[in-house]
Amino acid sequence: MGHTFPGACAPFGIVQLSPETDTIPHNVDGKYQTKVYEYCAGYQYHDPTIVGFSHTHLSGTGHSDLGDILIMPTSGRIRTNPGTADRPDEGYRSRFSHSTEKSTAGYYEVVLDDYGIKAELTATQRVGVHRYTFPSEEGQFILDLGSGIYNYEGKTLWTNLRVVNDTLLTGYRITNGWARQNYTYFAIALSEPLRQYGYVDHQRMKYNGFWRKMDIHHNFPDMAGREIVGYFRTGLSSEKQLTVRVALSAVSMGGALANLYAETSGRSFDDIRNATALCWEHELKNVEIEGTDDQKALFYTSLYHTMINPSVYMDVDGSYRGNDMEIHKADGFTNYTVFSLWDTYRAEHPLLNLLKPRQGRDMATSMVQIQQQSALHLLPMWFLMANEGWCMSGYHAVPVLADAATKAGFPRSAKVLEAMDATATSPWIEGMNDYLQYGYVPYDRCGTSASNTLEYAYDDWAIYYTALQAGNQEMAERYRKRALNYRNVFNPELGLACPKYKDGSWKKDFSPLQTYGEGFIEGNSANYSFHVPHDVLGMIACFGGEKKFLSRLDELFSMDLDKKYYEDNEDIEEECLLGGYVHGNEPSHHVPYLYAWTSQPWKSQYWLREIMNRMYVNNIDGLHGNDDCGQMSAWYIFTAMGFYPVCPGTDQYVLGAPYVPYVRLTLDNGRTLEIRADGVSDVKRYVKNVLLNGKTLTRRYITHQEILDGGVLEFQMSDKPNKRSAQKALPYSLSD
Amino acid sequence: MGHTFPGACAPFGIVQLSPETDTIPHNVDGKYQTKVYEYCAGYQYHDPTIVGFSHTHLSGTGHSDLGDILIMPTSGRIRTNPGTADRPDEGYRSRFSHSTEKSTAGYYEVVLDDYGIKAELTATQRVGVHRYTFPSEEGQFILDLGSGIYNYEGKTLWTNLRVVNDTLLTGYRITNGWARQNYTYFAIALSEPLRQYGYVDHQRMKYNGFWRKMDIHHNFPDMAGREIVGYFRTGLSSEKQLTVRVALSAVSMGGALANLYAETSGRSFDDIRNATALCWEHELKNVEIEGTDDQKALFYTSLYHTMINPSVYMDVDGSYRGNDMEIHKADGFTNYTVFSLWDTYRAEHPLLNLLKPRQGRDMATSMVQIQQQSALHLLPMWFLMANEGWCMSGYHAVPVLADAATKAGFPRSAKVLEAMDATATSPWIEGMNDYLQYGYVPYDRCGTSASNTLEYAYDDWAIYYTALQAGNQEMAERYRKRALNYRNVFNPELGLACPKYKDGSWKKDFSPLQTYGEGFIEGNSANYSFHVPHDVLGMIACFGGEKKFLSRLDELFSMDLDKKYYEDNEDIEEECLLGGYVHGNEPSHHVPYLYAWTSQPWKSQYWLREIMNRMYVNNIDGLHGNDDCGQMSAWYIFTAMGFYPVCPGTDQYVLGAPYVPYVRLTLDNGRTLEIRADGVSDVKRYVKNVLLNGKTLTRRYITHQEILDGGVLEFQMSDKPNKRSAQKALPYSLSD
């Protein structure tokens, strides 16, 4: 259920070269709806065939798109349709066996059984590199420009393919999918010269006028059409290998060519593979841990997954396609895309702001550029390639900017504050006009009114906090008031957040355990009511005081949730549950840390380890829930280290308990922080005492600056909760 | 039949803002085939309704496309489909009356009767400007991004429309028509602010996922879809006028915006109208004539028509979309498009090389750029916007380059020779491989083998002549031989060109009068056999000597052609015929001048005046044949002046007889040439004597340099042929 892909990519690369184990066949209607969720990453382990290798993938999402520029090496008769999983021989796809698969950071290999071809993949940030070893001295591959993930008739608007010379192809495709207008230009370099090529057009151009005069389907170097599938035949040397380098650009074919040259010119497949492995080594060695092999595998796999999306979205010369579909030049920053912000504002961006402040800063800058280019003047919500995808709720770019300002040197400029303000007052934010009028989103106007209100209030806090730091008192005060709006959806009789009508009355027959149809999105009231990360003390009061709050928290983790509450939800399976706590859906991610504001902080320590043990497994199941562009993984990293950014935007990390006995963080400033938890285990999961550089920490949090300063953070572990811990001082809360 | 449009444009402008009197309604299949020819220019005089005003039109073609960015002012209920001619009230179109139409160079007006709206149009090179006077103080218009000429379901690939602020819209559309990939970006400035707007999508996006959450169809500034039609409502001041300025670009919305500012910023409708009128005045006053009002109307209308296509195809900053679909920057030249070269190499380009050498040179440069960008390495054939349209035959960019080199200072560089050679040896030129092998295109390989061979031989001569002048002896000799290939399709028994098989045998049951199916294109053997402009003496020999040649020529003009030979041809009507001579189809254009190589040159003088009188009329019929991007008109201008470039590429103009008594040519070098033909009339149509600057001319041609030197060219007219003219020296012929 993680929806990650096994293919090759470089850190933060826009190319994710990975096998598709199923795609929707061309021109087959009606089927795709059911596969939108399943094939988000193009790959499902139980599938028997590989359709081909495409160059763009979303990592861990719950909605799908991309899968651009699919290449499949074949032998024998040319087939230009993919065939189906149950009748693979009718198309170009091939059976494969997991026993031939190898997948490491930046490298993937598999044997395509139907053809006896060994396929190896590696990648740089902008170039996917294929090495195919054929059984004979004839090389052959399909380039399907109509193939894609979440494909359907009419998604591909236009395809273009040019044979520049016998080892170089260029072209592009334009699609209308989740990314409403997606331009993928490419340049493809072959290690062996072409002998023969051609194409079919599965959608046939409506106008074919004077083109009829020629045979344009064979060896015609100027191909174009609505959905063309090309085939290419080369001779091979005695090594029987063909290397295919595929560079992408969202700008132009010339841009793709420049990317191709800059990143792969003069380098062999092995050179590139080794260089990308070194890149990953470099990025991953920021955090060194001790632990069991399983723990290491999970930790580094998680860390790897936090550095795929967001992805670099610009050519080597800085040109990129903006939200306005125009070509811009990134001035002094690297432009990024794929922002799954409802998910990633929680831990993914905070982790990058901690470990990769340059990238964190540039991602924040990219978001402000998007806002400047937006016809609606909105910061991104769920942004992919050059497009707003409108998925999920809130304006959670705001806390990401706030967090980058607090931790990664992102400036709190007037432009940034204006971008936040424009977004947080926009009529295009669901229910915003009502929210401004009523102080909450009324349920008679919006089906997810309660969760929207909770999310908006936190985002408003992030503007308040940023404006305050920037010295803009007027704006700070305006948003401080808004940040308290969460109170307007707390039903005092229930002590829970609940949908409220315009007239101030509460929804009748309200079920706090039902996820859908009760005013919340991807989470029920029992989980979502805890979503006040910026004012936990105020929230506790809304629950009716600490006792009631604790009883709700305890109940959440230990209840026996009836099947009826989740069996119809595609994104909740039984193994995603811990009582009524749903780790696979993000709204709960900070909830186990909320004990830190109560008299029973050790309960965090207990439940965090339960979640780590049950929700992350070192086998093919991997994650119990979509990775959501690194959010699930970033949660793992923080929690393994023993702290978590409950309220991104503040400089505080709330303490839990380390999952592994030793972590060494190498920071961007060159300093190191060692985190020790000697003897930590499922039994010794409780924290007796915390020492920072030898001194007992009397707080339940550490600050960003303390991490940056480095040293040793020592957790003394115990098999019993320490109910008299020295850690008394509570983390930030607006009502404090 | 002229297929010209009545709307507004600036000289060589890419914007031709003109009414569409019919378009194919959205989603109505099957109808369009019959209208491809009729609606080449979007306008037919007999139509009762105007659909709207679109910004791009081909001038005088026989195949259709464009009609981009259609705007229609309306009142009352918003209708987003155009309706039909017989049920106009069902759509946004309006009835109109010709009595309200005014059309002058750069200006058009009409009253839209259904709405009581007066529409006025003017244009700069890149901006169309509309001024609508509404009956009330409510302004309203439709922007139909799916409308187009030669429209059909699926032609429009994608449309985008953004409300930047309340007086500025930007967007684009991508179409797949005759221009295979056509990108039209726009920026639209309104004189009054928007009050309300919205759109429908006639093709509905296949993916509408999260867009469902919002009402994106009303006042939503970020519109896009496969075929969207927008509507816009503004308030009006007491003048009840709305001015809409629409700038185009093939590069980007930013490019369109820059064009908008550069060409219209701070200028009123009247300012722009007056400035464009002055531009036309400036361009047209190169040639001043005396004559009857009808003659003046026809002459200046013709001259006007020679300066619409080719059209400037670049933004004000020099950026343009190349044949490779990439964005290029024109370095030191103006980039042009719309090259109908099979037509225009004959007289249109030679006329521009004479009157507008800078434009002639830049057009030649543009063609070489196209060749450099072409995946096939071909010079343009029929080029529109950034696309090769593959219409008609030959590689007639070559004689245009040759002519520009001889007359307009275009360099005969190695790059130019290479471009010519690459084109003339390309396997993508129809039958070229066979032509190279056999010396002719065999009829068993190509249905238009005979005309192809004749055309290739002339184009080969143009390469020969250019290489010779450039000092490339090897190339010159190679192409001199090829230039004689026309002989290989002359059937000595017939004394006419005739399709020949690979085995050397001639087509049996050959009809020299049948236009189609006999080895020729747009012309029968009786016309086409004369297509050896570069070697007229050699051709005369092929006809069997002067006597037989003259008898064929005489017969051509005086025969009574049976209806069966033309009644099925959409491009030949009875009034296009002069005997068997078809002026409406270009292959004959030089034929009346061929008498200059015989002992009876006065017959040219006779027939030229017949053609002028019959084929060009000062009423709504205008031209008896498509203007073909100025070729029919350029023929008129040359013939009216008394000379014609029978063999473009040479520096010679073959003398006919002036049609008007006085012409004053103002040349680019500042000099003037006066052409006098005192007393010329239908009776006094014969030339007794020709004096150049007072000296009797003993040649049947004058040279380009003589024209450039200026002075007086005097034709002494007579009512009788001068069979003992002093003009003995014959024009150029390769065999001479």
C-beta of residue A467 within 8 angstroms of C-beta of residue A480: no
Integer Cα distance of B119 and B135 in angstroms: 12
Contact list, B430 vs chain A (CB under 8 Å): 213-214
Assigned superfamily of B288-620: alpha-1,2-mannosidases domains (1.20.1610.10)
Backbone angles phi, psi at A150, to 5 degrees: 55, 55
The tokens describing A320, both together, are 């990129």
**Alpha-carbon gap: A220 to the closest alpha carbon of chain B (Å):** 8
The tokens describing B482, both together, are 């090829």
**Alpha-carbon gap: A704 to the closest alpha carbon of chain B (Å):** 37
Q: Which of B340, B485, B466, B339 is nearest to B403 (CA)?
A: B466
Quick one: which H or E segment has residue A344? Answer: helix A341-344
Query: In the block, which residue shows the tokens 């719950």?
Result: A62
- Residue of B40, B210, B223, B392 best to disrupt the A interface, most CBs of A under 10 A: B210
C-beta of residue B377 within 8 angstroms of C-beta of residue B429: no
A447, A453, A454, A460 alpha-carbon torsion, rounded to 10°: 150
Per-residue pLDDT band for A563 (boundaries 50, 70, 90) equals confident
C-beta of residue B455 within 8 angstroms of C-beta of residue B531: yes
Of A152, A213, A252, the CB nearest to B390: A213
Q: How much is the pLDDT for B152?
A: 83
A648, A651, A657, A660 alpha-carbon torsion, rounded to 10°: 90
Helices (H), B24-75: 35-38
Q: How much is the pLDDT for A669?
A: 96
C-beta of residue B67 within 8 angstroms of C-beta of residue B85: no
Q: Could you read off the pLDDT of A259-310 as tens digits, one per residue?
A: 999 999 999 999 999 999 999 999 999 999 999 999 999 999 999 999 999 9
One-letter amino acid at A478 equals R
Quick one: which H or E segment has residue A108? Answer: strand A107-112
SS3 A175: strand
CB atoms within 10 A of CB B155: 22
Percent pLDDT > 70 in chain B is 98
C-beta of residue B50 within 8 angstroms of C-beta of residue B96: yes
Q: Supply the mean pLDDT for chain A.
A: 95
Backbone angles phi, psi at A237, to 5 degrees: -80, -175
C-beta of residue B709 within 8 angstroms of C-beta of residue B671: yes
For A254, which residue in chain B has the nearest alpha carbon?
A: B326
Of A162, A206, A376, the CB nearest to B155: A206
Integer Cα distance of B422 and B432 in angstroms: 12
Integer Cα distance of B417 and B419 in angstroms: 5
One-letter amino acid at B197 equals Y
Domain ranges of chain B: 8-283, 288-620
Q: How much is the pLDDT for A85?
A: 87
Check if A731 contacts B (Cβ < 8 Å): no
C-beta of residue A412 within 8 angstroms of C-beta of residue A405: yes
Per-residue pLDDT band for B151 (boundaries 50, 70, 90) equals confident
> What DSSP designation does A190 have?
E
Asked whether the beta carbons of residue A157 and residue B162 sit closer than 8 angstroms, the reply is no
Determine how β-strand B672-676 pairs with β-strand B711-718.
Answer: parallel
Over 90: is that where the pLDDT of A632 sits?
Answer: yes
Q: Which residues, listed in sequence order, are joined to residue B55 by a DSSP beta bridge?
A: none
Percent pLDDT > 70 in chain A is 98
**Alpha-carbon gap: A178 to the closest alpha carbon of chain B (Å):** 7
Q: Which of A495, A612, A613 is nearest to A550 (CA)?
A: A495
Per-residue pLDDT band for B24 (boundaries 50, 70, 90) equals low
Q: Could you read off the pLDDT of B102-138 as tens digits, one per residue?
A: 999 999 999 999 999 999 999 999 999 999 999 999 9
Q: Could you read off the pLDDT of B379-428 as tens digits, one per residue?
A: 999 999 999 999 999 999 999 999 999 999 999 999 999 999 999 999 99
One-letter amino acid at B511 equals S
Query: In the block, which residue shows the tokens 């993930």?
Result: A149
Asked whether the beta carbons of residue A209 and residue B178 sit closer than 8 angstroms, the reply is yes
For A323, which residue in chain B has the nearest alpha carbon?
A: B222
Asked whether the beta carbons of residue B390 and residue A63 sit closer than 8 angstroms, the reply is no
Q: Could you read off the pLDDT of B38-95 as tens digits, one per residue?
A: 899 999 999 999 999 999 999 999 999 999 999 999 999 999 999 988 899 999 999 9
Give all strands (DSSP E) within B398-547, no chain letters.
Answer: 490-491, 496-497
Q: Could you read off the pLDDT of A192-218 as tens digits, one per residue?
A: 999 999 999 988 777 767 777 788 999
Q: Which residues, listed in sequence order, are joined to residue A140 by a DSSP beta bridge?
A: A233
> What DSSP designation does A339 have?
E
**Alpha-carbon gap: B117 to the closest alpha carbon of chain A (Å):** 32
Task: List CB contacts of B476: < 8 A, sequence separation 6 or more.
Answer: B464, B465, B467, B468
The ipTM (two decimal places) reads 0.95
C-beta of residue B648 within 8 angstroms of C-beta of residue B345: yes
Q: How much is the pLDDT for B30?
A: 47
Over 80: is that where the pLDDT of A34 sits?
Answer: no
Over 70: is that where the pLDDT of B215 sits?
Answer: yes
Q: Which of B672, B629, B576, B123 is nearest to B351 (CA)?
A: B629
- Residue of A203, A326, A391, A452 best to disrupt the B interface, most CBs of B under 10 A: A326
Query: In the block, which residue shows the tokens 């221009």?
Result: B179
Q: Which of B517, B475, B512, B515 is nearest to B491 (CA)?
A: B512
Which letter, b or e, does each residue of A237-258 get, where b requires 16 or more Cβ atoms within 10 Å of its Cβ?
A: eeebbbbbbbbbbbbbbbbbbb
Size of interface A-B (CB pairs under 8 A): 123
Check if B224 contacts A (Cβ < 8 Å): yes
The tokens describing B633, both together, are 């008109």
Taking phi over 0 as left and psi of -120 to 50 as alpha, with beta for the rest, A283 belongs to alpha
Per-residue pLDDT band for A28 (boundaries 50, 70, 90) equals very low
The tokens describing B438, both together, are 């056999």
Q: Which of B95, B98, B99 is nearest to B117 (CA)?
A: B95
Integer Cα distance of A312 and A259 in angstroms: 12
Q: How much is the pLDDT for A27?
A: 47
- CA B457 vs CA A550, A591, B420, B482, B652: distances in Å: 95, 84, 13, 6, 19
CATH number for the region A8-283 comes to 2.70.98.10
Q: Could you read off the pLDDT of A426-444 as tens digits, one per residue?
A: 999 999 999 999 999 999 9
Check if B430 contacts A (Cβ < 8 Å): yes
CB atoms within 10 A of CB B274: 15
Q: Which of A425, A342, A422 is nearest to A389 (CA)?
A: A342
Integer Cα distance of B183 and A181 in angstroms: 14
Query: In the block, which residue shows the tokens 């290798």?
Result: A53
Q: How much is the pLDDT for A576?
A: 80
Integer Cα distance of A226 and A160 in angstroms: 8
Q: Is the dihedral of CA B537, B542, B544, B549 positive or negative?
A: negative
Q: How much is the pLDDT for B118?
A: 98
Integer Cα distance of B644 and B611 in angstroms: 14
Q: How much is the pLDDT for A736?
A: 86
Give all strands (DSSP E) within B145-237, no chain letters.
Answer: 156-165, 168-175, 182-190, 194-201, 222-225, 228-235
On the question of a cis peptide bond just before residue B310, with omega within 30 degrees of 0, the verdict is yes
Average of per-residue pLDDT across A666-686? 97
Task: List CB contacts of B440: < 8 A, sequence separation 6 or more.
Answer: B434, B449, B453, B485, B488, B489, B500
SS3 A8: strand
Over 60: is that where the pLDDT of A29 sits?
Answer: no
Q: Could you read off the pLDDT of A456-489 as tens digits, one per residue?
A: 999 999 999 999 999 999 999 999 999 999 999 9
For B428, which residue in chain A has the nearest alpha carbon?
A: A214
Check if B180 contacts A (Cβ < 8 Å): yes
Contact list, B211 vs chain A (CB under 8 Å): 180, 390
Q: How far apart are the first and last CA of chain A?
A: 40
One-letter amino acid at A394 equals G
C-beta of residue A428 within 8 angstroms of C-beta of residue A439: no
Q: Which of A43, A37, A38, A52 is nearest to A88 (CA)?
A: A52
Q: How much is the pLDDT for A24?
A: 59
Of B205, B209, B327, the CB nearest to A252: B327
**Total-model pTM:** 0.96
Check if A233 contacts B (Cβ < 8 Å): no
Average of per-residue pLDDT across A125-144? 97
Integer Cα distance of A65 and A84 in angstroms: 20
Q: Supply the mean pLDDT for chain B.
A: 95
The tokens describing B440, both together, are 């002719």
Q: Could you read off the pLDDT of B469-497 as tens digits, one per residue?
A: 999 999 999 999 999 999 999 999 999 99
Per-residue pLDDT band for B577 (boundaries 50, 70, 90) equals confident
Q: Could you read off the pLDDT of A493-530 as tens digits, one per residue?
A: 999 999 999 999 999 999 999 988 899 998 999 999 99
Interface of B with A in 120-159 (CB under 8 A): 150, 152-155, 157-158
